[in-house]
């Protein structure tokens, strides 16, 4: 039977009561009110330490293997890509083509069943997107592995070649992360970090402290991992709609490894530390501003189950009188002790990933390829870039005309802005190269990965909102980046 805490007057639940009553341990008042005896506390502490150590090793510890420096997670999925080679490419291509064909049946022909359930919620346009993605993937794979030669505009290294390669990576990132994320999500590290970061995250970013884990995971692993973690925590009731949207669009930045590749392409590798950490700071400042302006400040403070967030929820997220560290440790221990079976959680995570993968990768192949074809073969982004020239002139940005097209093109693929200036870096002022690089890293939203993953994961987002926020992040990034440019490079 539940007891009362003599100090707080709150009910204290035992593990048996939690299991019997199916209490929500993501609800922090419930979690804080749980009482563990010494034996259970020790068991939870050991589980939290061991499984958190595994999560840190997988997602946050860089290793050098055969001269390649990456985190363990990166070595795993890149190793699988290398091992599977063309066979893996063909399997993913067949999955993409199959998704296109199945979408037509599920959307227009079937009246019930699993295929109908999977595709019935899509718009009438989605089957065309899936079919186009399948066609693009098949043309590229045939060209890459046989004597067949597809249209260069589709299969070239600057269009379909780039996107299909990203699609293969995203496929394995999602699949491998389904095995690894239970270690990160279930054993208390999020609750521990959340307790420590709540005093900082809530007033600055309008977010719970637990969002800091998403940010770290994105910076050291990949944007897709950050989005997937956010989606899982939203579905579990950790984030409200507004919080999930702000975390996914504000903290799912590219990894350190990819950022280095971008910085090197702009010939700024000698300034890597300065450029990367300024870009990181810019990302955080922009995200704090975006949280306070439309359209995202209008998002609902409602959890996935429909419950409205209350002032009590915000108060309960704060550390108790015991202090930040003690509260964080207690929450981590309780979550670890009450965690479901690891095998069952991995199975559930794998099933969730298998539901997401077909639509994510197929949509990516279509939308990403079309976006790069437009960027590479039309003057659209140059026209759009010309709109930024007056702003550059006001901010006294050098080489304004030359670098202007790099800023709108980032919505297609975050690597494109620096690729557009790669052949003329020697002629461009270092300040101009810095601005292109820093803004491209802090834009976050691009069709070749993050936008597609966010929409496919069914986060409470609309496409027009993502486009508007991309423009906002770009303009704010240019202004803030120009200040740093003048301080450091001018």
pLDDT of residue 1: 44
Alpha-carbon distance 285 to 61, whole Å? 26
pLDDT of residue 220: 54
In contact, 397 and 482? CB cutoff 8 Å: yes
Give strand pairing partners of 71: 62
Q: Which helix (H) or strand (E) holds 270?
A: none
pLDDT of residue 4: 47
Alpha-carbon distance 243 to 472, whole Å? 18
Q: Where are the beta strands (DSSP E) in 409-468?
A: none
What DSSP line would sit under 168-216, residue for residue?
Answer: HHHHHHHHHHHHHHHHHHSSSHHHHHHHHHHHHHHHHHSS-TTHHHHHH
In contact, 48 and 27? CB cutoff 8 Å: no
pLDDT of residue 483: 97
The residue among 460, 100, 480 whose CA lies nearest residue 249 is 460
Q: What does DSSP assign to residue 411?
A: G
pLDDT of residue 19: 66
Tell me how crowded residue 269 is: count the other CB atoms within 10 A of its CB: 12
Alpha-carbon distance 296 to 294, whole Å? 5
152 alpha carbon, distance to own chain's centre: 31
- Taking CA atoms, 291 is separated from 243, 295, 296, 482, in Å, by 9, 9, 6, 22
Alpha-carbon distance 59 to 183, whole Å? 10
Alpha-carbon distance 32 to 331, whole Å? 7
**Residue found under tokens 């639509």:** 359
pLDDT of residue 468: 97
Parse the chain into domains and list their residue ranges: 17-234+317-361
Mean per-residue pLDDT pooled into runs of 10, the chain (490 residues): 47 65 70 82 94 88 81 86 95 96 94 91 89 96 96 91 86 86 85 81 86 68 76 88 92 72 84 86 93 95 91 69 80 90 90 87 88 88 94 96 93 83 88 96 87 85 95 97 93
HEC letters along 249-269: HHHCCCCHHHHHHHHHHCCCH
Q: What does DSSP assign to residue 227?
A: H
pLDDT of residue 476: 97
């Amino acid at each position: 039977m539940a007891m009362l805490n003599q100090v707080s007057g709150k009910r204290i639940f035992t593990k048996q009561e939690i299991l019997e009553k199916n209490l929500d341990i993501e609800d922090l008042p419930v979690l804080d009110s749980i009482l563990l005896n010494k034996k259970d506390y020790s068991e939870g502490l050991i589980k939290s330490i061991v499984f958190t150590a595994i999560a840190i090793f997988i997602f946050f510890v860089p290793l050098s293997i055969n001269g390649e420096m990456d985190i363990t997670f990166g070595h795993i999925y890149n190793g699988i890509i290398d091992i599977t080679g063309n066979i893996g490419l063909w399997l993913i291509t067949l999955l993409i083509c199959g998704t296109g064909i199945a979408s037509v049946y599920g959307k227009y022909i079937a009246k019930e069943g699993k295929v109908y359930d999977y595709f019935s919620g899509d718009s009438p346009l989605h089957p065309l997107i899936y079919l186009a993605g399948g066609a693009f993937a098949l043309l590229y794979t045939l060209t890459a592995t046989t004597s067949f030669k597809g249209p260069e505009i589709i299969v070239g290294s600057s269009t379909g070649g780039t996107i299909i390669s990203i699609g293969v990576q995203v496929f394995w990132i999602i699949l491998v992360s389904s095995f690894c994320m239970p270690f990160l999500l279930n054993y208390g590290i999020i609750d521990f970090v959340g307790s420590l970061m709540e005093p900082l995250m809530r007033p600055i970013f309008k977010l719970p402290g637990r969002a800091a884990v998403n940010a770290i995971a994105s910076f050291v692993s990949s944007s897709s991992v950050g989005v997937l973690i956010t989606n899982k925590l939203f579905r579990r009731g950790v984030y409200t709609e507004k919080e999930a949207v702000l975390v996914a669009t504000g903290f799912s930045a590219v990894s350190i490894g990819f950022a280095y590749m971008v910085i090197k392409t702009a010939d700024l590798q000698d300034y890597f530390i300065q450029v990367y950490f300024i870009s990181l700071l810019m990302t955080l400042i922009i995200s704090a501003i975006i949280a306070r302006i439309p359209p995202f400040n209008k998002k609902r403070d409602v959890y996935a189950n429909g419950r409205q967030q209350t002032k009590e929820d915000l108060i309960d997220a704060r550390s108790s009188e015991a202090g930040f560290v003690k509260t964080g440790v207690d929450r981590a221990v309780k979550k670890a002790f009450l965690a479901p079976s690891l095998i069952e959680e991995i199975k559930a995570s794998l099933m969730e990933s298998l539901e997401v993968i077909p639509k994510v990768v197929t949509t990516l192949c279509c939308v990403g390829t079309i976006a790069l074809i437009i960027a590479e073969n039309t003057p659209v982004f140059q026209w759009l870039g010309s709109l930024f020239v007056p702003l550059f002139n006001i901010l006294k940005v050098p080489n304004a005309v030359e670098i202007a097209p790099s800023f709108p093109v980032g919505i297609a693929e975050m690597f494109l802005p620096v690729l557009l200036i790669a052949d003329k870096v020697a002629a461009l002022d270092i300040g101009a190269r810095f601005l292109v690089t820093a803004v491209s890293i802090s834009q976050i939203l691009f069709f070749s990965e993050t936008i597609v993953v966010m929409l496919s994961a069914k986060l409470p987002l609309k496409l027009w909102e993502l486009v508007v926020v991309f423009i906002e992040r770009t303009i704010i990034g240019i202004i803030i980046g120009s200040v740093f440019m003048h301080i450091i490079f001018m």
